[in-house]
Amino acid sequence: MDVSDGLLIHALRLAQARGCAAEIDMDALPLSTAFIAERGDHLDARLFAATGGDDYALLAALPPKLDPSTLSLPPGTRIGRIGVLTADKPNIRLTSNGTSIELPERLGHEHHSRSAPPVGDRD
């Protein structure tokens, strides 16, 4: 799935769809040199990156023993492990330096419909 609404909100959606928990290692998030030059490489900057959108990146759940070099991907594609899925109730957990960290107030962009909800009993 793409992470256009933010990595953390999409990781939660992935966990909910799979019926499991997602553990994200904030230290493993790939950051561009331009991002690091602008925002830094500290935890707050990483949380900013993980809750922002329009990153043009994809999130996938792959088997642990899969060798990413065996995938048919375009040249120059970077792939890296940022966490694991675990057998637990659907949620996400974050770590940094091996320590559990609190989830931010917002996980990403929430789309809200401005239209009225459907009503089934209208004539």
Predicted confidence at residue 94, as pLDDT, reads: 98
Q: What is the mean pLDDT of residues 94-116?
A: 83
What percentage of the chain reaches a pLDDT higher than 70? 89
What distance in Å separates the CA atoms of residue 69 and residue 63, rounded to the nearest whole number? 13
Question: For residue 105, what are the CA distances in angstroms to 15, 16, 47, 70?
Answer: 18, 19, 11, 38
Predicted confidence at residue 114, as pLDDT, reads: 55
Residue 38, phi then psi, degrees to nearest 5: -85, -45
- Give the model's confidence band at 58: pLDDT under 50 very low, under 70 low, under 90 confident, else very high: confident
Cα–Cα–Cα angle for 94, 97, 99, nearest 5°? Answer: 55
